[in-house]
Amino acid sequence: MMPTRSSLGLLLALLALSLFSPCACYNPSIQDGGFLCAEAGKQCPDGFVCASDGKCHSTASQKCPVPAITPLCSDQPVAGAACNPTCQTGCSCGRCNVHGATPECVTNVGTKKLGEICNTSKDDCQPGFICLLEAATCGQNVGRCYQYCTTNAQCASPIAGRTCEIPILDNNNVDTKYRTCGLGSQTCNPMATTNNGCPNPGLGCYVNTAGATFCDCPAHAPAVALGGLCTSYNDCAAGLICTPSAGLAGTHCRQICMTSGSNTCPSGQRCVAVANGYGYCLN
């Protein structure tokens, strides 16, 4: 049967509607919890959040599994970002953490504090902190919690004197433009060759020329031995300090000693003061 003029017009109208109507676009449904969170970039599609089971769940159907995070400061997310990791603003569920190259709202809210050893794959640091992998000289997969920042002033608490200086790199070692504060001074024993008080055996305890102690990775391996030239406080082997010393040009690794109490230097050597009760042994 041939179509009539009126029916042909109707068919043409329907065809035009299907081609040009905005309602004809393909919009598939996504199953709640139907796929894993992405390891890089945006973890889940809009309207979904990465839950503690590692899967994307609908924000409409899922009750937030963690308490609301109280903002740490008032700065809002930068243009195009989901949230602000320094201030913990922008997330209706979970905390804000840089994942890959961008900040995302995630529900794994940890308890680890500044400078504590953390899980680099799971990131179990507190809100406002990120678990960063330390240098390979510390050992395999040693991570510590670092504090997010955008200004030096934000680094003043809980340890004064820190600066907003450490770049966060993405999975391709490209600078994300997000920063953390340095860890600052930590209490440890720089004279100890073992059990130095640092949170991981791979971390050395070092003292700088201002008398402050730091838990840090060795600058390189092997470490500079007694009497060797050095440039940084973490160049030297355990029990040594990088300092200028009488009779030698430049800075060298010298044995650490304490200026108070009994002389711990080898026989025939004296303890020359550096700072804060620390010194180096000299003939």
**Given this model, what pLDDT does residue 276 score?**
95
Inter-CA distances, 45 with 92, 182, 271, Å: 15, 34, 63
Instruction: Give residue 237's pLDDT.
Output: 96
**Rounded to whole angstroms, how far apart are CA atoms 206 and 196?**
10
Under the banding of pLDDT at 50, 70 and 90, the label for residue 23 is: very low
pLDDT at 25: 41
Mean pLDDT of 126-153: 96
One-letter-per-residue 3-state SS of 165-189: EEEEECCCCCEEEEEEECCCCCCCC
Give per-residue pLDDT as tens, 230-276: 999 999 999 999 999 777 889 999 999 999 988 889 999 999 999 99
Residues 180/132, Cβ–Cβ less than 8 Å? yes
pLDDT in tens, 54-87: 788 776 666 788 877 999 999 999 999 999 999 9
What would the mean pLDDT of 139-155 be, rounded to a whole number? 96
Amino acid 8: pLDDT: 41
Predicted confidence (pLDDT) at residue 28 exceeds the cutoff of 50: yes
Give per-residue pLDDT as tens, 80-106.
999 999 999 999 889 999 999 999 999
At residue 136, does pLDDT exceed 50? yes
Distance CA 35, CA 103 (A): 20
Q: Is residue 17 over pLDDT 70?
A: no
Query: Lowest-pLDDT range, 12-21, 47-56, 146-155, 206-215?
Result: 12-21
Q: How far apart are CA 26 and CA 18, in angstroms?
A: 12
CA dihedral sign of residues 273, 274, 279, 283: negative
Higher-confidence position of 73 and 32: 73
Q: Are 79 and 106 in contact (CB under 8 A)?
A: no
| pLDDT of the residue at 55 | 80
- The residue count for the chain: 283
> What pLDDT digit, counting tens, does each position of 211-225 carry?
999 999 999 899 999
pLDDT of residue 247: 74
Res 13: pLDDT? 45
Cα separation, 236 vs 242, in Å, equals: 6
User: Which residue did the predictor score with more confidence, 148 or 193?
Assistant: 148
The Cα angle at residue 222 between residues 217 and 223, in degrees rounded to 5: 60
Place of tokens 């949230």: 83
Amino acid 59: pLDDT: 66
Give CA separation, 131 vs 12, 106, 122, 202, in Å: 61, 14, 9, 16
Q: What is the pTM of this model?
A: 0.76
pLDDT in tens, 34-61: 888 887 677 888 778 777 567 887 766 6
pLDDT tops 70 at residue 33: yes
- Per DSSP, 112 falls in state B
- pLDDT at position 210, please? 94
Whether 14 shows a pLDDT value over 90: the answer reads no
Report the alpha-carbon distance of residue 196 to residue 71 in Å, rounded: 36
pLDDT digits (tens, 9 = 90+) for 169-209: 998 999 999 999 999 999 999 999 889 999 999 999 999 99
